[in-house]
A and B are shown apart, each in its own frame.
Chain A
């Protein structure tokens, strides 16, 4: 072992810590001006904790597709085989939350924005997975679902295992740093 480098697990831990901190420090106001940051945090905590099992029982592809369906961005959803770079309105998955917060809090003339803690929490989870897989060099840093569909079977397994290893840290920190969601039974 070289002494000046970090273990993979340390890197995962560091990244997971930063990710959870981002959610823990979140201050976001709904259209009525109430701060809903902690609500997003507890939803995020609950989704992070159930994520590994969701992936293990359904596969990474199904799990990511499920998260995407929960985020429902109204801009162009970029399909697995489309190029994200040159499209107007298309949003990188690593940029999702900022963009969704903007959509949910900005007053538009045509419709009233509707704040949803669930949606934002799912968006953060998806973003953090996307960012980490990109950081590890397993994807191009954009949509992990796109990367998943393009990999061969064994590389898709690698992607799955890396995601689970990352989530193992994410759930530890989420458990420690975010408040429990009163509505769900989790927390054991």
Chain B
């Protein structure tokens, strides 16, 4: 069994919307039922990966110097032309079948189909080669009196991270630290500590101990390059962590303007919740043998996925795409 531990680091705020929740906020984010922790459900994430990978495949696969997308589009154009000319009915039928085939190919090219499965209308043909896990929270940014902000995590979060790493067959030899109530752990070279204390939002916590280097090393597996968390990491107890992820997300009021009056439309004010930028999430993707034809083995699937994520680097997750939300730096670990 092959696997990928995918790190997702928010570069802009994320809105993986839950859609159906009745909350004090009109558009809340997805959360786990039993912990209230933010999450991006596997099904949402798989959709994002599929669509990005489809584009990547059409752009990156070349035959005699021509991109796959261009080849398909050129043939489609040819068919359109032929269909307009005077041709026998039998040939028309054939052309139309080929046209549908090509259009499907644009929606779901061969490698995409092998990895993610056929598109919905042909879903019964075979399954995809990967199982995408939920993207769970690992580090949550919180305003700090010193050093602007801190990356906050907790024993429960690290425990789950360790378990997931083990599931993915990765080295997870760090000890999950214990933290006292109202206490905090930071590293020796912390930017957020001030005289043995950290002040996060309105909470003052006493520094109890140091964070073990091995914890930082484990996090680095899913941390995109160029981001240093060791100077800002704070491990707090689970209750405090839970408080931050429930009460310190970003809440933004949005309005729809009535163009003729230049004022807010009746009913045009709503509140939307975002995961702040600098949040780090991770997801475990299990890779199996492909059933479709374009890729042969699980090794090949894993390699292709890794290559895609390394080349693409940025993914866009969740709602509000067109207002610049949802950009994440992705790291295959």
Residues of A within 8 A of B (CB): 52-53, 56-57, 59, 153-154, 156-157, 160-161, 164, 167-168, 171-172, 184-188
Q: If the complex has contacts A154-B182, A188-B26, are A161 and B246 also in contact, measured as CB distance less than 8 A?
A: yes
A residues less than 8 Å from B204 (CB atoms): 153
Does B323 make an interface contact (CB < 8 A)? Answer: no
CA distance A147 to B188 in the complex (A): 38
Q: Are A53 and B25 in contact (CB under 8 A)?
A: yes
B residues less than 8 Å from A161 (CB atoms): 246-247
Query: 20 pairs across A/B with beta carbons < 8 Å?
Result: A52-B25, A56-B25, A56-B247, A56-B251, A153-B203, A154-B240, A154-B243, A156-B202, A167-B24, A171-B24, A172-B22, A185-B255, A185-B268, A186-B269, A187-B266, A187-B269, A188-B267, A188-B268, A188-B269, A188-B270
Instruction: Considering the complex, give the chain A residue whose CB is closest to the CB of B203.
Output: A153
Q: Are B264 and A53 in contact (CB under 8 A)?
A: no
Instruction: Considering the complex, give the chain A residue whose CB is closest to the CB of B201.
Output: A59
Q: If the complex has contacts A154-B182, A161-B246, A168-B23, are A53 and B251 also in contact, measured as CB distance less than 8 A?
A: yes
B residues less than 8 Å from A157 (CB atoms): 243, 247
Query: Shortest distance in angstroms between A65's beta carbon and chain B's nearest beta carbon?
Result: 14
Q: Are A185 and B24 in contact (CB under 8 A)?
A: no
A residues less than 8 Å from B240 (CB atoms): 154
CA distance A188 to B272 in the complex (A): 12
A residues less than 8 Å from B251 (CB atoms): 53, 56-57
B residues less than 8 Å from A187 (CB atoms): 266-267, 269
Please list the 6 inter-chain residue pairs (A to B) with the smallest Cβ-Cβ separation, ordered nearest first.
Answer: A185-B264, A52-B24, A185-B269, A187-B267, A188-B270, A168-B24
Interface range on chain B (Cβ under 8 Å from partner): 20 to 34
Does B61 make an interface contact (CB < 8 A)? Answer: no
B residues less than 8 Å from A57 (CB atoms): 251
Contact of A53 among B24, B182, B246 (CB under 8 A): B24
Instruction: Considering the complex, give the chain B residue whose CB is closest to the CB of A152.
Output: B182
CA distance A161 to B242 in the complex (A): 12
B residues less than 8 Å from A53 (CB atoms): 24-25, 251, 253, 271
Q: Are A185 and B247 in contact (CB under 8 A)?
A: no
Scan residues 53-84 of chain B and give those whose CB is less than 8 A from a CB of chain A: none
B residues less than 8 Å from A168 (CB atoms): 22-24
B residues less than 8 Å from A171 (CB atoms): 24
CA distance A56 to B267 in the complex (A): 22
Does B173 make an interface contact (CB < 8 A)? Answer: no
Does B239 make an interface contact (CB < 8 A)? Answer: yes
Interface centre among A154, A156, A185 (most CB of B within 10 A): A185
A residues less than 8 Å from B93 (CB atoms): none
CA distance A113 to B206 in the complex (A): 53
Binary contact readout B213-253 vs A (1 if CB under 8 angstroms, 0 otherwise)? 00000000000000000000000000110010011000101
B residues less than 8 Å from A186 (CB atoms): 267, 269
Q: Are A184 and B182 in contact (CB under 8 A)?
A: no
CA distance A171 to B268 in the complex (A): 17
Instruction: Considering the complex, give the chain A residue whose CB is closest to the CB of B269.
Output: A185
Does B313 make an interface contact (CB < 8 A)? Answer: no
CA distance A52 to B266 in the complex (A): 21
Apart from A53-B251, A168-B22, list 8 A-B contacts with CB within 8 A: A53-B25, A53-B253, A172-B22, A185-B266, A187-B266, A187-B269, A188-B26, A188-B269
Q: Are B26 and A164 in contact (CB under 8 A)?
A: no
CA distance A56 to B245 in the complex (A): 12
Binary contact readout B253-278 vs A (1 if CB under 8 angstroms, 0 otherwise)? 10100000001111111110000000
CA distance A112 to B79 in the complex (A): 85
Query: Shortest distance in angstroms between A54's beta carbon and chain B's nearest beta carbon?
Result: 10
CA distance A136 to B131 in the complex (A): 45
Q: Are A59 and B23 in contact (CB under 8 A)?
A: no
Q: Are B202 and A59 in contact (CB under 8 A)?
A: yes
